[in-house]
Structure 1
Amino acid sequence: MLHISSHVLIPDSEIQLHAMRSQGAGGQNVNKVSTAIHLQFDIKASSLPPFYKQELLRLRDSRISQDGIITIKAQQHRTQERNRADALERLCLLIQSVAIPRKTRRATKPTKGSQTRRIDSKKKQGRLKALRGTIE
């Protein structure tokens, strides 16, 4: 069971974990031992509450496919157990990030001081460029 919050749990049967060989440098250990973990989690077929499903599907994250499948690859650590724990932790953080309410953006106007600083810098730049002209 993966604990997301006090009320939300994900059964292990909904999370698919596959071991594979890691990429990159590491010598004999990387070439022979399957330490990397490839995690897949289907949002639509899961037992998550509808709110979590909607918000996860609305996210623009490269780890979430068009079909609503979260794919996480963990290969940072040397052992399969630590990579498995890392992948599950990253899945948990992704799902928890959806529950945090986002602040609504309120449009503001630039202050009087910032407007004058902007105009002054533009005038200064214009004077500098005027000096670059050809002398007649």
Structure 2
Amino acid sequence: MDDMSGPYVIRGSVPLPEAELQWRFSRSSGPGGQHVNTSDSQVELRFDVAKTEALPEVWKQRALERLAPRLVDGVVTVRSSEHRSQWRNRETAAVRLAALLAEATAPPPKPRKPTRIPRGINERRLREKKQRAETKRGRGGGRAWD
């Protein structure tokens, strides 16, 4: 594990712009014992979706719309503190941000084209249903030993 494995691709050939990422480090709670008290291993990654030039305009609008509840002044924030090392937390945060932006910029799904059930399948279902009813009707005639 050398330095960061970037550039992280959002979708297609659009990478996460390294120059527009704002990193902040702080002390992390969680595993690490006394190490936690001395190192800034928690990572906070901020990306200004509203002001970025890296995303096509259509993607930017989609992202602003879909991430609206998570945005503060057009900035999305991702935190990572599950690893003991700052480097791994940086990796995790960057991957999470790329995945979040990929999902937010994805095109809307194509509308479902309604289809009809073929007549043959419906007829077969009704025929089998009648046979099953006939089988059940033939069962409960009363006591056989009277």
TM class by smaller structure: 0.5 to 0.7
Matched, 1:59 2:66: yes
Q: TM-score, normalised by structure 2?
A: 0.63
Structure-to-structure mapping, 1:64-79, within 5 angstroms = 64-65=71-72, 67-79=73-85
**How much has 1:10 moved relative to structure 2?**
3.0
| Residues 101-136 of structure 1: per-residue CA shift (max 9 Å, x gap) | 335589xxxxxxxxxxxxxxxxxxxxxxxxxxxxxx
**In structure 1, how many angstroms separate the alpha carbons of the residues matched to 2:67 and 2:12?**
26
Q: How has the CA–CA distance of structure 1 residues 83 and 63 changed in structure 2, closer, same or farther, with 3 Å as cutoff?
A: farther
Equivalent AA in structure 1 for residue 36 of structure 2: V
Q: CA RMSD in A?
A: 2.3
Q: How has the CA–CA distance of structure 1 residues 105 and 23 changed in structure 2, closer, same or farther, with 3 Å as cutoff?
A: farther
**How much has 1:36 moved relative to structure 2?**
0.7
SS in 1 for 2:70: coil
Q: How has the CA–CA distance of structure 1 residues 63 and 32 changed in structure 2, closer, same or farther, with 3 Å as cutoff?
A: farther
**How much has 1:26 moved relative to structure 2?**
3.8
Q: TM-score, normalised by structure 1?
A: 0.67
1:21–1:33 CA contact under 8 A, matched in 2: yes
Q: 2:89 aligns with which of 75, 83, 91?
A: 83
**Number of residue equivalences:** 106
SS in 1 for 2:79: strand
Work out the percentage of aligned pairs sharing the same amino acid. 37
Gaps of 5+ in 2: 1-6, 114-146
The equivalent of 1:14 in structure 2 is 20
1:63–1:72 CA contact under 8 A, matched in 2: no
1:52–1:95 CA contact under 8 A, matched in 2: no
Higher Rg: 2
Equivalent AA in structure 1 for residue 15 of structure 2: L
SS in 2 for 1:4: strand
